[in-house]
């Protein structure tokens, strides 16, 4: 699975380079301000606009001045944190040994929980699998959940409905909700019925086109996919479908994928989540659809930012290698990580692999890390939050170890072991229980070691909880060895969806 994810991400990066600037590229703010080895600096709006990628997610943004918010110095960081900078970053340690070596940069975005203001209008494209396997209770619950979701969308939102079986079918073209249009939408939902095979590619392409056609006033654009099976007509590989998701993301479209039962292809839903910076859910029973769509609606109602992306600009002597489990766009030495729409209270973390060539001595910048987004609370004005991660050079390896950054070390352990859990889930699904046990045992050991090293109660508790979750997954994997195939498959899907890789999306 890790090999497949790496291949997907390389493909996404290549597509992002081809798309160029047209493609758009989840700690508290207090933690961002006081993280060791990090300095946030004030950059003028002119300088930010001139910086690589500061134009924002679309060409139109370049014409508008961005409000750049970053503290002026290390001493001012704590005060600026209280004023609301959402982005934080720090290297693996405050210190680096001289010479060239690989290390890590932890990046986190913490959106404030309390965001009051006008709700951002949304464009939602509902996409329902209408293949034969959806007959009975699955389709009944899909219709009921879709109708309840639409009923709770406010007037003024744009909604569309499409289904896919042997081919994709437009059931409702993009429609502005209101008293005059809701009855027709309800009739189309009620008419959904199962037939034929599973042409997910054409269905997804149609739904993305619906969402991308939304007016600029509707910057929240999301496809909500409900499926219980594997694509078996048209292009169907996770790589191709993931690339399609990325092309939609270039127009601000994110995908929420809901896999129902035990027969859907989790590799495809994983690829859709990575390619669009979206979300994925595993449902053991069809009746859970309503609760998932209720959660999606709640997230739409607390939108705090649209068109968000993190831009990482390396300092001289620093090379950005990659960002595991994220879809990235690369322009020269700079990497962008797409976040899309962000909701109040969202916590998003990423781990950047870097290669540093450190001089013999001194204090040096590692990277400028910038969060670009539009603020729906303030007329969709483009905004930029920036921090600068730094390091000091030492020849004392003990000093490097003594000054590790706990949050970066924690998120590195959680993200890396989350990828190991994805691999183990595939091993369980294929019946290779020995390989699954080895990977999960290594993951648990990695987390236990990090928990023992952590000094703060918060980070220690977080890593210990992650270790306990992996221990539970190990028990599940062992039990799956003696379980019937259907139960084993369900265990593998649950393990996949529970990976920390999907946290904060």
CA separation for the pair 360, 111 (Å, rounded): 38
pLDDT per position as a tens digit, 418-432:
999 999 999 999 999
Q: How does residue 117 score in pLDDT terms, banded at 50, 70 and 90?
A: low
CA separation for the pair 157, 418 (Å, rounded): 36
Residue with tokens 């609301």: 84
Q: What own/partner pairs with CB < 8 Å and gap ≥ 24 does 150-157 have?
A: 150/126, 150/177, 150/182, 150/185, 150/186, 150/189, 152/294, 152/297, 153/122, 153/124, 153/177, 153/297, 154/119, 155/179, 156/121, 157/121, 157/122, 157/123, 157/124, 157/218
Output the CA torsion sign for 14, 18, 19, 23: positive
% of the chain beyond a pLDDT of 90: 74
| Residues facing residue 100 across a β-bridge | 357
Which range (2-6, 52-56, 87-91, 124-128) has the least confidence? 52-56
Q: From 336, 263, 246, 279, select the one nearest 501 (Cα to Cα).
A: 279
User: Which CATH superfamily is 122-301 part of?
Assistant: von Willebrand factor, type A domain (3.40.50.410)
Name the residue with higher pLDDT: 264 or 72. Answer: 264
Tell me what the mean pLDDT of segment 285-313 comes to: 92
Confidence at residue 114, expressed as pLDDT on a 0 to 100 scale = 60
Helices 266-276 and 406-430 cross at an angle (nearest 10°) of 150
pLDDT per position as a tens digit, 202-248:
999 999 999 999 999 999 999 999 999 888 999 999 999 999 999 99
Q: How many other CB atoms are found less than 10 A from the CB of residue 489?
A: 18
Q: Which CATH number fits domain 2-115+303-402: 3.40.50.2000, 2.60.40.3670, 1.10.260.40, 1.20.1630.10?
A: 2.60.40.3670
Residues contacting 355, CB < 8 A, separation 6+? 100, 101, 102, 103, 318, 319, 321
116 has a pLDDT exceeding 70: no
């Amino acid at each position: 699975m890790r090999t497949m994810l790496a291949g997907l991400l390389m493909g996404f990066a290549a597509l992002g380079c081809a798309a160029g600037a047209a493609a758009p590229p989840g700690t508290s703010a207090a933690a961002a301000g006081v993280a060791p080895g990090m300095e946030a600096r004030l950059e003028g709006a002119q300088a930010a606009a001139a910086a690589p990628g500061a134009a924002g997610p679309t060409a139109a943004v370049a014409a508008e001045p961005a409000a750049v918010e970053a503290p002026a110095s290390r001493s001012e960081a704590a005060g600026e944190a209280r004023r609301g900078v959402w982005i934080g970053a720090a290297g693996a340690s405050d210190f680096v040994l001289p010479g060239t070596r690989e290390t890590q940069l932890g990046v986190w975005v913490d959106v404030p929980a309390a965001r009051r203001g006008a709700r951002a209008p949304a464009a939602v494209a509902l996409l329902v699998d209408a293949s034969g396997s959806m007959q009975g209770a699955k389709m009944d619950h899909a219709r009921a959940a879709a109708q309840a979701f639409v009923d709770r969308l406010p007037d003024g939102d744009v909604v569309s409905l499409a289904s896919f079986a042997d081919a994709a079918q437009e059931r409702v073209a993009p429609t502005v909700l209101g008293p005059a249009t809701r009855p027709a939408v309800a009739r189309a939902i009620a008419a959904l019925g199962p037939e034929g095979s599973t042409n997910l590619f054409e269905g997804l392409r149609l739904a993305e086109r619906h969402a991308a056609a939304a007016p600029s006033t509707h910057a929240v654009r999301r496809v909500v996919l409900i499926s219980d099976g594997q694509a078996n007509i048209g292009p169907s590989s996770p790589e191709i479908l993931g690339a399609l998701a990325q092309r939609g993301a270039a127009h601000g479209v994110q995908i929420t994928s809901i896999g129902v039962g035990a027969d859907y292809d989790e590799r495809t839903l994983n690829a859709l989540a990575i390619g669009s910076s979206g979300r994925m859910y595993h449902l053991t029973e069809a009746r859970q659809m309503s609760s998932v769509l209720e959660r999606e609606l709640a997230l739409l109602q607390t939108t705090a930012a649209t068109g968000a992306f993190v831009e990482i600009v390396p300092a001289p002597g620093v090379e950005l290698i990659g960002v595991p489990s994220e879809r990235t766009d690369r322009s020269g030495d700079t990497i962008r990580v797409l976040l899309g729409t962000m909701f109040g209270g969202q916590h998003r973390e990423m781990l950047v692999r870097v290669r540093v060539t450190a001089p013999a001595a001194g204090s040096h910048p590692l990277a400028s890390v910038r969060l670009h987004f539009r603020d729906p609370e303030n007329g969709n004005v483009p905004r930029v939050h920036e921090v600068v991660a730094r390091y000091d050079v030492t020849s004392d390896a003990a000093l490097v170890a003594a000054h590790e950054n706990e949050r970066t070390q924690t998120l590195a352990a959680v993200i890396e072991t989350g990828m190991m859990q994805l691999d183990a889930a595939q091993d369980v699904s294929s019946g290779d229980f020995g390989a699954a046990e080895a990977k999960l045992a290594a993951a648990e050991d990695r987390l236990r070691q990090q928990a023992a090293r952590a000094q703060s109660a918060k980070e220690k508790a977080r890593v210990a909880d992650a270790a306990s979750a992996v221990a539970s997954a190990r028990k599940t994997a062992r039990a799956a060895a003696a379980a019937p195939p259907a139960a084993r498959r369900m265990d593998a899907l649950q393990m996949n969806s529970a990976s920390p890789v999907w946290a904060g999306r």
